[in-house]
Amino acid sequence: MILLRRSYRRAASRSVAPRELKPQIPWLRVFVEGVVIVGFLSPAPGSGQESLSVSCADLYSRSPLENLTRCAEQGHAGVQSLLGLKYARGAGVPEDGAEAVRWYRLAAEQGDAEGQWLLGSMYGNGDGVPEDDVLAYMWFNLSGAQGHVSAQESEDIIEQRMTPGQIAEAQRLSREWMDAHPQGGGN
């Protein structure tokens, strides 16, 4: 409950009122609804995205959909996360959880901490994918390992509803992902 109150204060400080909250994992709607994402749009050093056009690096949540889509299709992980957020919220596009998951997954697989956190949130709430606490924990763990504070908080919350076996499985999956993506620590 402390996390929830803190989250409401964060959203309120941004003059944004969160929409509905799912009772099982309240942090998703608070953070997702209250964020105008700008900071994570810079390509990660060594990600191979530095050569993308400067206009892709300058995009933000209210950029024209055509520009977001063009840059996301070029593989810019930050913009992929941002486009996924638009589909998750129905902001300028029809709300479509599966399409949001598709864009989050593309970003997450590149090691984008924001995309990993958002993908974990979708698994944690069963939005656009079947609810899966093990996969949610895995993505939160990967994102949190990069210093993403919201992912670390989300991991702590979801861990409370998991068995020790599920936690061990999620940690194993995280290690396997990191071994398969040695430079996957994007942001």
pLDDT in tens, 143-162: 999 999 999 999 999 999 99
Total domains present in the chain: 1
Does residue 69 lie within any of the structural domains? yes
pLDDT in tens, 74-86: 999 999 999 999 9
Does 92 have pLDDT greater than 80? yes
Does 11 have pLDDT greater than 50? no
pLDDT in tens, 94-111: 999 999 999 999 999 999
* CATH number, domain containing residue 122: 1.25.40.10
Does residue 34 lie within any of the structural domains? yes
The whole-model pTM stands at: 0.71
Angle between helices 149-159 and 113-125 (to 10 degrees): 30
Angle between helices 65-73 and 77-89 (to 10 degrees): 130
Does residue 187 lie within any of the structural domains? no
Does residue 12 lie within any of the structural domains? yes
State residue 42's pLDDT score: 43
Does residue 110 lie within any of the structural domains? yes
Domain residue limits at 98 = 2-180
Does residue 186 lie within any of the structural domains? no
Q: Where are the alpha helices (DSSP H) in the chain?
A: 2-13, 27-33, 54-57, 65-73, 77-89, 97-109, 113-125, 133-144, 149-159, 164-180
Q: Is 86 exposed, middle or buried (0-12, 13-18, 19+ CB in 10 A)?
A: buried
Does residue 130 lie within any of the structural domains? yes
